């Protein structure tokens, strides 16, 4: 069992989409989970600040404690101009938290903000177990090299978290049917009922 997990996210709902079921499982197993979000998507979203409120509600639902979540308000689609501060902050977070496992966006993700977090996350945490999570609508390719079985309650916790984003309801990729169908698809690939899958960038086994 992992002692400490860290999820790095460009935007507020990336954790829930990419690894919400897995994080729910980790919390059930007693892992301390930390999350860092780099953009609250202001002022692109209206009213400004709504996504932060929804994110806080989602984190409450999944069980990530307030002192283990951090959100920055960097400008959406402009994270490339903040690479060095982002990297330095990740290195500081690594020293402070010392995570066993780190989740980052897929290196194949075509969204410019996700690319920055994935690339800088790889630099900062290249000596840790490092997995890339799936945001299917942004991935031209995705290597399904690591699967995590999730239970029905953990899948439904993921759906419940995403339903906290009331401002995003109506977008196709947030529909509960889609979220459940992807978990079924990934599960069936490896003979399970439900699963999430990840790209493996580092796999560290210690004594």
List helix spans (H) across 77-111. Answer: 83-97
Residue 47's pLDDT band (boundaries 50, 70, 90)? confident
What SS3 class is residue 29?
Answer: coil
Fold that domain 4-202 belongs to in CATH: Rossmann fold (3.40.50)
Q: Where are the domains of the chain?
A: 4-202
- Identify which of 196, 91, 85 has the alpha carbon closest to the alpha carbon of residue 136: 196
- Say if strands 129-133 and 195-202 run parallel, antiparallel, or are unpaired: antiparallel
% of the chain surpassing 70 pLDDT? 100
Does the pLDDT of residue 24 top 90, yes or no?
A: yes
Q: What is the mean pLDDT of residues 199-207?
A: 95
- 98-141 confidence digits (pLDDT tens): 999 999 999 999 999 999 999 999 999 999 999 999 999 999 99
Percent over 90 (pLDDT), the chain: 92
In this prediction, residue 45 carries a pLDDT of: 80
Indicate the pLDDT class of residue 1, thresholds 50, 70 and 90.
confident
């Amino acid at each position: 069992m992992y002692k400490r997990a860290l999820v790095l996210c460009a935007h507020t709902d990336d954790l829930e989409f990419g690894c919400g079921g897995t994080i729910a499982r980790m919390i059930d197993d007693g892992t301390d989970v930390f999350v860092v979000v780099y953009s609250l998507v202001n002022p692109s979203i209206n009213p400004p600040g709504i996504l932060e409120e929804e994110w806080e509600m989602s984190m409450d639902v999944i069980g990530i404690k307030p002192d283990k979540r951090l959100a920055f308000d960097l400008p959406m689609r402009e994270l490339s101009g903040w690479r060095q501060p982002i990297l330095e902050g990740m290195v500081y977070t690594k020293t402070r938290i010392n995570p066993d496992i780190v989740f980052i966006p897929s290196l194949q993700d075509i969204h410019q903000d996700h690319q920055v977090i994935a690339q800088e996350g790889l630099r900062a945490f290249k000596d840790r177990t490092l997995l890339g999570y799936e945001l299917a609508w942004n991935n031209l390719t995705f290597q399904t090299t690591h699967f995590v079985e999730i239970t029905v309650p953990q899948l439904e916790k993921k759906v419940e978290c995403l339903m906290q984003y009331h401002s995003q309801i109506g977008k196709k990729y947030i529909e509960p049917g889609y979220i459940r169908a992807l978990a079924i698809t990934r599960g069936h690939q490896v003979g399970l009922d439900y699963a999430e899958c990840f790209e493996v960038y580092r796999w560290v086994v210690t004594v």
